[in-house]
Amino acid sequence: MLRYIGKRLLMMVITLWVIVTLTFILMVTIPGSPFNSERGTNEAVQANLEAHYNLDKPYIVQYVLYLKSIVTFDFGPSIKQPSQTVNEMLGRGFPISFELGIITIIVAVLSGVTLGVFAALKHNQIIDYVAMGFAVLGISIPNFVLATLLIQQLAVNIEWFPVARWLSPAHMILPVTALATGPMAIIARLTRSTMLEVLTQDYIKMARAKGLAPWKIICKHALRNALMPVVTIMGTLLAGILTGTFVIEKIFAVPGMGKYFVESINQRDYPVIMGTTVFYSAFLIVMLFLVDIAYGILDPRIKLHKKGGRE
């Protein structure tokens, strides 16, 4: 197990390096500089500014400097807002984005699995049709459309929820709903189909023949096996939710990391781009790693280390 984790950590570092390098290449190939939009600066001032931020150095030197800043996790101050360091921006934005993301995942998994299980248990009955119809809608409607609809209907027309911002639990309901509906629908459909398959397995018949209570058969014997594929797609869903937060944060004026991420790219604010990219990538890579670990815990047949297996 330890060896496996060690190997994975090494892979994660390599993945991160590839992402950083690609981001750097993209950054230098896109035309423009952080000072393009500054007015009334002459060439000498521009050159001075570039020299100050090491932007006049050869690319290879800049690249090494970037790598150094990543290793030390010190990205320095933002170019556009020199009063703040990148770390300060991340420290302010990340907890909010994380809150939004985590609540969304919890809501999506809990409601998706519940919906899927009920649909499977009431296979080909009204509940099944309603749940799956709902799921198809959830998959088809993009989250930004849903977000606008929710704001118009529930916040503007009947004023149940605040229109925007991130201040109280009531503020969280609409953004989380908008962001969670898609993943929830995917999870619900997947849970239903795997659950239907698992319910026909012999070990479920065996559990019934043992005289176990129905809820025990479902929770202990069926659900655990049915959740395997759900855990598998969690990685992809996480990435989707993460990028979804950019859009949703923008629509609901949530002061998370998404704002910095998008603005920094528009403004060529190199240290902020690097900081947010590295941070997002590292976060996603760690989450995917946790998903793999969870997989091994749920299914004993999947051995994370080389030893063991059939004896």
Partner 1 sequence: MEKLLEVHDLHVAFSTYGGTIKAVRGVNFYLHKGETLAIVGESGCGKSVTSQAIMRLIPEPPGKIVRGKVMFKGKEITRYTEKQMRSIRGVEISMIFQDPMTALNPTLTIGTQLMEGLQEHQSIRGETATSKALEMMHLVGIPNPKERLKQYPHQFSGGMRQRIVIAMALICEPELLIADEPTTALDVTIQAQILELFTTIQAKTGISIILITHDLGVVAKIADRIAVMYAGKIIETGTKRDLFYNQQHPYTKGLLKSVPRLDLKEEQLSPIDGTPPDLFAPPQGCPFTARCPYAMEVCDNVYPVTTERSSSHRVDCWLQDKRAQQLLARTANQ
Which residues bind to partner 1, rule: CB under 8 A? Answer: 201-203, 205-213, 216, 220-221, 224-225, 298-301, 309-311
Q: What is the DSSP letter of 219?
A: I
CB atoms within 10 A of CB 143: 25
Min. distance of Cβ 272 from partner 1 in angstroms?
45
Min. distance of Cβ 294 from partner 1 in angstroms?
13
157: left (phi over 0), alpha (psi -120 to 50) or beta: alpha
Which residue shows structure tokens 């690097």? 274
Nearest to 116 by CA among 201, 206, 197: 197
Asked if residue 16 lies in contact with residue 282, where contact means CB atoms within 8 angstroms, the answer is: yes
Min. distance of Cβ 293 from partner 1 in angstroms?
16
With respect to partner 1, which residue has the nearer C-beta, 39 or 301?
301
Residues in the chain: 311
Min. distance of Cβ 58 from partner 1 in angstroms?
56
Contacts of 129 (CB under 8 A, 6+ apart): none
With respect to partner 1, which residue has the nearer C-beta, 171 or 221?
221
User: What tokens were used for 288?
Assistant: 């995917």
What DSSP line would sit under 142-204, residue for residue?
Answer: -HHHHHHHHIIIIIIIS--S-SS-SSSHHHHHHHHHHHHHHHHHHHHHHHHHHHHHHHTSHHH
With respect to partner 1, which residue has the nearer C-beta, 52 or 220?
220
Min. distance of Cβ 117 from partner 1 in angstroms?
16
With respect to partner 1, which residue has the nearer C-beta, 52 or 123?
123
Min. distance of Cβ 299 from partner 1 in angstroms?
6
User: What tokens were used for 65?
Assistant: 């400097």
With respect to partner 1, which residue has the nearer C-beta, 147 or 217?
217
